[in-house]
Structure 1
Amino acid sequence: MNKIFTAFIVGAMVLGVLVGWGVNHFLTPEQAKGVAENLTIVTDVFLRLIKMIIAPLVFSTLVAGIAHMEDAASIGRVGIKTMGWFISASIVSLLIGLFMVHLIHPGAGMGLVQDPSTIAGAVDATKLTLKEFVTHLVPKSIVEAMANNEILQIVVFSIFVGTAVSSLDDKAPAVTALVDQIASIMLKVTGYVMKTAPLAIFAALAATVATQGLSVLADYAKFVLGFYASLGVLWALLSALLILIVGKRAINLLRAVRQPALLAFATASSEAAYPRTLEELQKFGLSRRISSFVLPLGYSFNLDGSMMYCTFAVLFIAQAYGIEMSIGQQITMLLLLMVTSKGMAGVPRASLVVIAATLAYFDLPEAGLLLILGVDHLLDMGRSATNVLGNSVAAAVVAKWEGQIEEPTEDGASPKPA
Structure 2
Amino acid sequence: MRVRMALYILLATVLGGLFGYLFPHAGIAIKPVGDAFIRLIKMVVLPVIVSTLLVGVAGIGDIRRMGRIGLKTIVWFEFFTTLILFLGLIVANVVHPGTGIDLSQLPKGDISKLQSNTATVMDGTTLLLNIIPTNFLDAMARSDMLATIFFCVMFGIALVGLGERAKPFVQFMDIVSQASFRLVNMVMTVAPIGVFALMAATIGTYGVKLVIPLLRLIGTAYLALALLVFVVFPIVALCLRIRITDVYKMVWDLMLIGASTGSTETVVPQLMDRLERFGVPKSITSFVIPAGLPLNSDGTTLYLTIAAPFIAQLFGIHMTFIQQITMILFFIVTSKGVAAVPSSSMVILLATATAVGLPAEGVALILGVDRIIDMARTAVNVMGHVFSSAVVARWEGVLGKPQGIPAVTSADGPMETANL
Query: Could you tell me the TM-score, scaled by structure 2's length?
Result: 0.90
Residues 1:44 and 2:39 are matched in the alignment: no
Amino acid in structure 2 at the alignment position of 1:82: T
Amino acid in structure 2 at the alignment position of 1:327: F
Residues 1:100 and 2:94 are matched in the alignment: no
Residues 1:304 and 2:298 are matched in the alignment: yes
2:59 matched residue in structure 1: 68
CA distance in 1, matches of 2:110, 2:138: 34
CA distance in 2, matches of 1:402, 1:39: 48
CA distance in 2, matches of 1:220, 1:238: 26
Aligned ranges 1:151-230 → 2 under 5 Å: 151-170=145-164, 172-230=166-224
Deviation at 1:410, TM superposition (A): 5.9
Larger mean CA deviation between 129-138 and 295-304 belongs to 129-138
Deviation at 1:334, TM superposition (A): 0.6
Deviation at 1:111, TM superposition (A): 6.3
Residues 1:8 and 2:1 are matched in the alignment: no
Identity of aligned residues (%): 34
**Aligned counterpart for 1:123 among listed residues 104, 115, 127:** 115
1:87 matched residue in structure 2: 78
Q: Which deviations, in whole Å up to 9, do the C-alpha atoms of 1:341-380 show, x marking residues without a partner?
A: 1132222211111111112212221111111111111112
Are the counterparts in 2 of residues 43 and 200 from structure 1 also a CA contact under 8 Å? Answer: yes
Q: What SS does the aligned partner of 2:264 have? A: coil
**Aligned counterpart for 1:252 among listed residues 242, 246, 249:** 246
CA distance in 1, matches of 2:404, 2:320: 56
1:143 matched residue in structure 2: 137
Q: What SS does the aligned partner of 2:398 have? A: coil
CA distance in 2, matches of 1:118, 1:410: 47
Are the counterparts in 2 of residues 243 and 251 from structure 1 also a CA contact under 8 Å? Answer: no
Q: Which deviations, in whole Å up to 9, do the C-alpha atoms of 1:245-275 show, x marking residues without a partner?
A: 3434442232221222111111111122222
Distance 1:179 1:241, change over 3 A: farther
Are the counterparts in 1 of residues 288 and 388 from structure 2 also a CA contact under 8 Å? Answer: yes
1:57 matched residue in structure 2: 48
Are the counterparts in 2 of residues 66 and 289 from structure 1 also a CA contact under 8 Å? Answer: yes
Aligned residues: 403
Are the counterparts in 1 of residues 28 and 204 from structure 2 also a CA contact under 8 Å? Answer: no
Aligned ranges 1:243-392 → 2 under 5 Å: 243-392=237-386
Q: Which deviations, in whole Å up to 9, do the C-alpha atoms of 1:29-54 show, x marking residues without a partner?
A: xxx23x12332122111111111112
Distance 1:404 1:196, change over 3 A: farther
Distance 1:181 1:249, change over 3 A: farther
Are the counterparts in 2 of residues 111 and 321 from structure 1 also a CA contact under 8 Å? Answer: no
Distance 1:118 1:184, change over 3 A: closer
Deviation at 1:171, TM superposition (A): 6.6
Q: Which deviations, in whole Å up to 9, do the C-alpha atoms of 1:313-338 show, x marking residues without a partner?
A: 11111111111111111111111110
CA distance in 2, matches of 1:17, 1:179: 41
CA distance in 2, matches of 1:411, 1:21: 37
Distance 1:406 1:327, change over 3 A: same
CA distance in 1, matches of 2:359, 2:405: 55
Amino acid in structure 2 at the alignment position of 1:231: L
CA distance in 2, matches of 1:134, 1:248: 36
Amino acid in structure 2 at the alignment position of 1:107: G
Distance 1:101 1:179, change over 3 A: same
CA distance in 1, matches of 2:111, 2:264: 27
Q: Which runs of 5+ in 1 are unaligned?
A: 24-31
CA distance in 2, matches of 1:363, 1:73: 44
Residues 1:237 and 2:244 are matched in the alignment: no
RMSD: 2.2
CA distance in 1, matches of 2:198, 2:91: 29
Q: Which deviations, in whole Å up to 9, do the C-alpha atoms of 1:164-193 show, x marking residues without a partner?
A: 222334372112111111111111111111
CA distance in 2, matches of 1:360, 1:221: 24
Amino acid in structure 1 at the alignment position of 2:12: A
